[in-house]
Structure 1
Amino acid sequence: MRTLIFRTVAPYLTSLMVLFSVFVLLRGHNEPGGGFIGGLIAASAFAIYGIACGVSPVRRALYFHPMAISGFGLFVSSMSGVVSLYLDMPFLTGQWTVINVLGLPVDVSTVLFFDIGVYLVVVGSISSIALALEEREHV
């Protein structure tokens, strides 16, 4: 399904879906959403882009290998749990702090970094599977 209309619309649709996935990721602390759902939306965006334009443009857009993205996400998630061990608390106990960004207070927590790690794991693993299936289909 590589029609001219689909190939033209796919990059814009992919951009909007990735932006929406980041919104869902960051919204997940107070409302439904989070790293897993946001990662699925982003992986779906890359799958649509792969169907429309092929696998090599998606690999160039991702810049890093999908499994490297997944591995880094696993590292970020596990390191967010290690922070609590240094404070003599059980593993994965949430820690919060406030930082000032341009004079505005921003709440930062280890829960946010755990969600970001889950997001990266889902994007990397699902994108890797989708790209492998798309490559196999055209061989």
Structure 2
Amino acid sequence: MRTLIFRSTAPFLAALMILFSVFVTLRGHNDPGGGFIGGLIAASAFMMYGIAAGVKYVRRALHFHPLTIAGFGLTLSACSGLLSLPFAEPFMTSQWAFPSILGVEIALSTPMFFDIGVYFVVLGGLSSIALKLEEE
């Protein structure tokens, strides 16, 4: 299914899907969404782009090996759970910080970093599987 229309629209659709996956990931624990669903959307965007353009273009778009992305996500998720230990609280207890950047208060939390880690694990794992299947 490498028609001209699909090959020319797939990069734009993939970019929109990745942008939407970041939105879904960051709204995480407060509304429906989170790292798993966001990672699925992003992985499907790269799969669609791979079907349209080919595996080598997807590998170039990812910049890193998919398993490296998954490993980074696993490390980030585990470290977000470890941040509660210095405060003598149980593992994976939520920690919050409210830094002020340019006069705007930003809420940072360990659940958000956990969701971002899950996002990268799902994106890396599914992209690795899809790229291996597409190569053969």
For the residue of structure 2 that corresponds to 1:29, the secondary structure is: helix
Using structure 2 for the length normalisation, give the TM-score. 0.99
Runs of 4+ in 1 over 4 A off after TM superposition: none
Name the counterpart of 2:48.
48
Using structure 1 for the length normalisation, give the TM-score. 0.97
Residue-by-residue CA offset, 1:69-124 (whole Å, 9 max, x unaligned): 00000000000011101111111000011011221001100010000000000000
Name the counterpart of 1:21.
21
Inter-partner Cα distance in structure 1 for 2:7 and 2:81: 42
Name the counterpart of 1:34.
34
The Cα of 1:48 is off from its aligned counterpart by 0.1
* Residues paired across the two proteins, number: 136
Name the counterpart of 1:72.
72
Contact 2:43 2:123 in 1 (8 A): yes
For the residue of structure 2 that corresponds to 1:92, the secondary structure is: coil
Inter-partner Cα distance in structure 2 for 1:113 and 1:122: 14
Identity of aligned residues (%): 65
Alpha-carbon RMSD across the aligned residues, in angstroms, is 0.5
For the pair 1:4 / 2:4, whether they are aligned, the reply is yes
For the residue of structure 2 that corresponds to 1:94, the secondary structure is: coil
For the residue of structure 1 that corresponds to 2:30, the secondary structure is: coil
Unaligned runs of 5+ in 1: none
Letter in 1 for 2:49: Y
Letter in 1 for 2:64: F
Letter in 2 for 1:124: G
Inter-partner Cα distance in structure 2 for 1:85 and 1:51: 45
Letter in 2 for 1:40: L
Contact 2:28 2:112 in 1 (8 A): no
Letter in 2 for 1:117: G
For the residue of structure 2 that corresponds to 1:42, the secondary structure is: helix
Unaligned runs of 5+ in 2: none
Name the counterpart of 1:62.
62
Residue-by-residue CA offset, 1:22-70 (whole Å, 9 max, x unaligned): 0000111210000000000000000000000000000000000000000
The Cα of 1:2 is off from its aligned counterpart by 0.6
Letter in 2 for 1:71: G
Name the counterpart of 2:123.
123
